[in-house]
Amino acid sequence: MRIDIITVLPELIKSPLEHSIIKRAKEKGLVEIVIHNLRDYASDKYKTVDDYAFGGEAGMVMKIEPIVKVIEFLSSQRDYDEIIYTSPDGKPFSQSTANSLSLLKNIIILCGHYKGIDQRIRENIISMEISIGDYVLSGGELAAAVISDAIVRLIPGVISDETSALSDSFQDGLLAPPVYTRPAEFRNWKVPDVLLSGNAAEIDKWRMEQSLERTRKLRPGLIDDDN
């Protein structure tokens, strides 16, 4: 899979995509992430990518031309399955969206800044708009990092023991059960006996019960939504 990220602040997005699971996925050749500086596509000598808003609203708006230029350039190189814009009014990001995106070949993520991008880009070029939550960030870079991280760990082969991604929260519509490691006892805080029993069937049953109990208590909507 290839992810192209378009930003005015390449430095802001580089580091989160250079460690841990994403780093290994890149090394294994399972994902290529290419960051593009939008200013490289500005046509004037000041590398202008924003301008005043029509109608007198306060704040700057990202201009059409540099964005069209970079996206048209990328689209001339390969076909893109989705051209995503990160936006607080986009579709709330979820594990199921991450799952579908992880199956695609090429995607673009456009990071907004200032007051956002000219509406005409959203109407004519963007195929999908994603919000990472009901709050406003200064720019789309952290959102792009969140989206890329959630997608990359789901690409088949990225996490060596694939079942470990499959047993994460939301993957089956439930929250994950609690996890424990050694020591089995610390200051009289004990690991549940069943986990030490060696009885795989009992352990699976306990995990499922814990998942259901946690989901009912912490996120009942996840269960109700299915009905």
* 9, 60, 68, 137: residue in contact with ligand SAH (rule CB under 6 A): 137
- Show the binding pattern over residues 149-168: x = contacts ligand SAH (CB under 6 A), - = does not: --------------------
Query: Contact 216/223 with Cβ under 8 angstroms?
Result: yes
Report the distance separating Cα 156 and Cα 148, nearest Å.
15
Which of the ranges 23-31, 112-120, 160-168, 176-184 carries the binding residues for ligand SAH, by CB under 6 A? 112-120
The encoded tokens of residue 80 equal 């893109």
- In angstroms, the first-to-last Cα distance of the chain is 34
CB neighbours (10 Å) of residue 130?
A: 23
132 touches ligand SAH (CB under 6 A): yes
Q: Which of residues 74-103 bind ligand SAH (CB under 6 A)?
A: 86-89
Provide φ and ψ at 65, rounded to 5°: -60, -50
133 touches ligand SAH (CB under 6 A): yes
Query: Contact 60/114 with Cβ under 8 angstroms?
Result: yes
Which of the ranges 29-37, 105-113, 168-176, 185-193 carries the binding residues for ligand SAH, by CB under 6 A? 105-113
Q: Which residues bind ligand SAH (CB under 6 A)?
A: 86-89, 111-113, 115-116, 131-133, 135-137, 139-140, 143
